[in-house]
């Protein structure tokens, strides 16, 4: 079955859920927090792509840190395996059970705790949906430091646990820089209060970073404090086409030099992505329909001076066209045009899953080599599957999507391990921003040394000695 071809054996050391367990959970969470209804549990068992399916019998919906703590302490004492779940938009099968793990979804913990509107520091519970947080802080004159296509469903706790990158990374950097504090519940129920709101604090090891990107394998994030940048008044979005990949690269360098202080996104997609978006997304139209170009780039600028910023972007585009880097281009004249441009870029994932089967690879590769893998994959696969390349070019992050009507072991055998070996050979990363989940737990060695994996396993054993948190994910079974 596609990228999950080899079945993972259930670890018999885990207990099997029984009716006493369910009664205990009801005594802690009440009837509404303990879901056994088959339809609701079925939804929580399947990931966003419909690719990874677990067989959990139980979905728990805690409403407070204390409830999470009691649930985990109990699961640890009984050795019941647990999957922490946020918005379930993850793309590597990390958010759903592999077997019968109990699902603990944080969606009920969605309270805003405080907002410091002088320093732009937001403190909230982990189950807050990213888009709701964005709307809230924008009304206060700030923005969230991250934005992604899944914003309407993903939760800030999920974003932190995957160290999500997304569309604003080029401007505001990684969550490692923006997250100021966390509250985390460890596997044995201990509540680790690291919820500071300080910009600077060098007292010992900065433990919160262990949990940023740990994909629910070290603890359950329950509260978050995060730095939000000021909202700037002028945003412009341009949609451009380039005749070859070299022009995209040169355009990136030119944009870094020419738009440096105002650039807020630099996204690229190939022709196949535009065709896919036009075929499968409702209500979008191709901003540059006249000629079929090979590559498209979306540039967003955000700054503080409306007329200066617009003039700067226009002059940059003119120069880039004169220099032959850009074949054609258009700057959005209003919000609806700008959102059409964004909808095309953000809708590629959604359009991909509509084709049937999608093999998704999220790679960090030096920019000059980034598109080579797309072309090599195309010639390997011929007409077995369609190969698309797009992503956050400004961050050296390629999303390689391979589409076919259904999953097939033949196609998978052409893709893996080639894609991982190629990436490792170019000193890239096999996961730029989506994490490892169950898809790539056994592949970590392509990007990390044996010593690093061993140290990670030691940390996992220290904080979760019974290995109840998100088993079969992130680390290879042999390391634990
Ligand atoms: P889930 O999918 O529920 O969980 C993801 C992982 O985090 C799992 O391992 C889970 O166990 C763990 N987890 C969740 N909540 C907690 C918690 N409170 N405590 C501990 N562990 C927890 N990702 C990017 O990085 N950049 C993008 O641009 C991007 N675009 C996307 C676009 C679309 C259309 C889609 C569907 C996904 C995209 N993603 C992107 C992937 C995904 O949205 C992110 O990984 C997101 O951060 C996951 O958040 P979530 O709340 O849905 O987490």
- Structure confidence at residue 290 (pLDDT): 78
- Structure confidence at residue 408 (pLDDT): 93
* Pocket lining: 218 vs ligand 1, CB cutoff 6 Å: no
- Once rounded to an integer, what is the mean pLDDT over residues 340-358? 95
Residue whose CB lies within 8 A of the most ligand 1 atoms, among 45, 63, 64, 85, for a mutation test: 85
**Percent of the chain at pLDDT exceeding 90:** 97
Atom of ligand 1 nearest to the CA of 473: 9
Average pLDDT, the chain: 96
Q: CA 165, 167, 170: angle at the middle one, nearest 5?
A: 80
Cα(86) to ligand 1 centroid in Å equals 7
Domains of the chain, with CATH numbers? 13-108 (3.30.43.10), 112-227 (3.30.465.10), 234-348 (3.30.70.2190), 356-394+403-450 (no CATH)
The confidence band for 272, taking pLDDT boundaries of 50, 70 and 90, is: very high
The string of DSSP letters for 52-96 reads: -B---S-EE---SHHHHHHHHHHHHHHT--EEEESSS--SSS-SS
* Pairing verdict, β 82-85 and 112-116: unpaired
Residue of 313, 343, 345 lying closest to 329 (CA atoms): 313
pLDDT tens for 409-450 read 999 999 999 999 999 999 999 999 999 999 999 999 999 999
* Pocket lining: 127 vs ligand 1, CB cutoff 6 Å: no
Write out the H or E segment, with its range, that includes residue 390.
Answer: strand 386-392
Cα(47) to ligand 1 centroid in Å equals 11
* Pocket lining: 131 vs ligand 1, CB cutoff 6 Å: no
| Residue of the CA atom closest to atom 46 of ligand 1 | 159
pLDDT at 322 over 80: yes
Cα(457) to ligand 1 centroid in Å equals 22
Distances from the Cα of 217 to the Cαs of 179, 189, 466, in angstroms? 19, 14, 12
Indicate the angle between helix axes 418-425 and 372-381, nearest 10 degrees: 150
pLDDT at 2 over 50: no
Atom of ligand 1 nearest to the CA of 160: 47
Cα(267) to ligand 1 centroid in Å equals 20
Distances from the Cα of 106 to the Cαs of 42, 197, 210, in angstroms? 17, 22, 20
* Pocket lining: 156 vs ligand 1, CB cutoff 6 Å: no
Structure tokens at 186: 């460890």
Write out the H or E segment, with its range, that includes residue 206.
Answer: none
* Pocket lining: 86 vs ligand 1, CB cutoff 6 Å: yes
Distances from the Cα of 471 to the Cαs of 98, 127, 441, in angstroms? 8, 21, 10
* Pocket lining: 162 vs ligand 1, CB cutoff 6 Å: yes
* Pairing verdict, β 82-85 and 102-105: parallel
- Structure confidence at residue 5 (pLDDT): 52
**Cβ-Cβ contacts under 8 Å for 9 (sequence gap 6 or more):** none
pLDDT at 250 over 60: yes
Cα(222) to ligand 1 centroid in Å equals 15
* Pocket lining: 97 vs ligand 1, CB cutoff 6 Å: no
Residue whose CB lies within 8 A of the most ligand 1 atoms, among 49, 147, 148, for a mutation test: 148
Cα(148) to ligand 1 centroid in Å equals 10
Greatest CA separation for the chain: 73
DSSP single-letter state for residue 396 = T
* Pocket lining: 164 vs ligand 1, CB cutoff 6 Å: yes
pLDDT tens for 37-89 read 999 999 999 999 999 999 999 999 999 999 999 999 999 999 999 999 999 99
Residue of 55, 114, 104 lying closest to 220 (CA atoms): 104
- Once rounded to an integer, what is the mean pLDDT over residues 190-207? 96
Residue of 324, 157, 312 lying closest to 234 (CA atoms): 312
Whether 268 contacts 297, CB under 8 Å: yes
Q: Can you tell me the distance from the alpha carbon of 240 to that of 183, in angstroms, rounded to the nearest whole number?
A: 43
Cα(158) to ligand 1 centroid in Å equals 5
pLDDT tens for 206-245 read 999 999 999 999 999 999 999 999 999 999 999 999 999 9
DSSP single-letter state for residue 475 = S
* Pocket lining: 105 vs ligand 1, CB cutoff 6 Å: no
* Pocket lining: 158 vs ligand 1, CB cutoff 6 Å: yes
| Residue of the CA atom closest to atom 4 of ligand 1 | 95
Whether 122 contacts 182, CB under 8 Å: no
Residue position matching structure tokens 């441009």: 341
User: C-alpha dihedral over 224, 225, 229, 233, to 10 degrees?
Assistant: 70
User: First CA to last CA across the chain, in angstroms?
Assistant: 26
* Pocket lining: 85 vs ligand 1, CB cutoff 6 Å: yes
The confidence band for 6, taking pLDDT boundaries of 50, 70 and 90, is: low
ipTM above 0.95, yes or no: yes
Q: Which of helix, strand or coil describes residue 241? A: strand
Q: Can you tell me the distance from the alpha carbon of 86 to that of 328, in angstroms, rounded to the nearest whole number?
A: 41
Cα(164) to ligand 1 centroid in Å equals 7
- Once rounded to an integer, what is the mean pLDDT over residues 122-130? 98
Q: Can you tell me the distance from the alpha carbon of 264 to that of 231, in angstroms, rounded to the nearest whole number?
A: 12
Q: 3-state SS of 272-317?
A: HHHHHHHHHCCCCCCCCCCCCCCEEEEEEEEECCHHHHHHHHHHHH
Structure tokens at 153: 């469903």
Whether 30 contacts 78, CB under 8 Å: no
Q: Can you tell me the distance from the alpha carbon of 385 to that of 362, in angstroms, rounded to the nearest whole number?
A: 18
- Structure confidence at residue 3 (pLDDT): 47
Write out the H or E segment, with its range, that includes residue 479.
Answer: none
* Pocket lining: 182 vs ligand 1, CB cutoff 6 Å: no
pLDDT at 1 over 70: no
* 65-85 CB burial, b ≥16 within 10 A, e <16: bebbbbbbbbbbebebbbbbb
Q: Which of helix, strand or coil describes residue 353? A: helix
């Amino acid at each position: 079955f596609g990228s999950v071809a080899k079945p993972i054996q259930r670890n018999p050391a885990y207990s099997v859920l029984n009716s006493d367990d369910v009664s205990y959970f009801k005594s802690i969470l009440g009837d509404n927090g303990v879901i056994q209804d088959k339809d609701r549990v079925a939804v929580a068992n399947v990931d966003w792509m419909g690719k990874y399916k677990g067989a959990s019998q139980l979905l728990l919906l805690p409403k407070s840190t204390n409830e999470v703590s009691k649930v985990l302490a109990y699961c640890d004492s009984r050795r019941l395996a647990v999957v922490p779940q946020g918005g379930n938009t993850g793309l590597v099968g990390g958010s759903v059970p592999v077997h019968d793990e109990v699902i603990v979804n944080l969606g009920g913990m969605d309270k805003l705790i405080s907002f410091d509107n002088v320093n732009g520091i937001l403190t909230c519970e982990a189950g807050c949906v990213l888009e709701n947080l964005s709307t809230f802080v924008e009304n206060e004159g700030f923005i969230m430091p991250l934005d992604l296509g899944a914003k309407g469903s993903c939760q800030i706790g999920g974003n932190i646990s995957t160290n999500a990158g997304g569309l604003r990374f080029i401007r505001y950097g990684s969550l490692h820089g923006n997250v100021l504090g966390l509250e985390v519940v460890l596997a044995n129920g201990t509540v680790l209060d690291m919820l500071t709101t300080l910009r600077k604090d060098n007292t010992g090891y900065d433990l919160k970073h262990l949990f940023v990107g740990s994909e629910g394998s070290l603890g359950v994030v329950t509260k978050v404090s995060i730095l939000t940048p000021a909202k700037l008044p002028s945003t412009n979005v341009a949609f451009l086409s380039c005749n070859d990949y070299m022009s995209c690269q040169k355009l990136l360098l030119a944009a870094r030099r020419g738009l440096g202080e105002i650039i807020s996104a630099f996204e690229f997609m190939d022709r196949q992505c535009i065709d896919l978006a036009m075929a499968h997304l409702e209500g979008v139209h191709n901003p540059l329909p006249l000629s079929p170009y090979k590559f498209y780039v979306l540039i967003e600028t955000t700054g503080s001076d409306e007329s200066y910023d617009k003039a700067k972007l226009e002059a940059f585009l003119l120069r880039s066209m004169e220099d032959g880097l850009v074949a054609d281009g258009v700057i959005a004249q209003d919000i609806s045009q700008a959102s059409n441009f964004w909808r095309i870029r953000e809708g590629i994932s959604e359009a991909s899953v509509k084709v049937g089967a999608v093999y998704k690879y999220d790679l960090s590769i030096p920019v000059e080599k980034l598109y080579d893998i797309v072309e090599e994959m195309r010639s390997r696969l011929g007409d077995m599957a369609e190969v698309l390349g797009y992503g956050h070019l400004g961050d050296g992050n390629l999303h390689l999507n391979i589409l076919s009507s259904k999953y097939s072991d033949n196609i998978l055998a052409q893709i893996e391990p080639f894609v991982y070996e190629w990436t490792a050979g170019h000193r890239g990363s096999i996961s730029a921003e989506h994490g490892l989940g169950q898809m790539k737990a056994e592949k970590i060695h392509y990007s990390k040394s044996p010593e690093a994996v061993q140290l990670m396993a030691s940390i996992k054993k220290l904080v979760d000695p019974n290995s109840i948190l998100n088993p079969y994910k992130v680390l290879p079974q042999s390391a634990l």
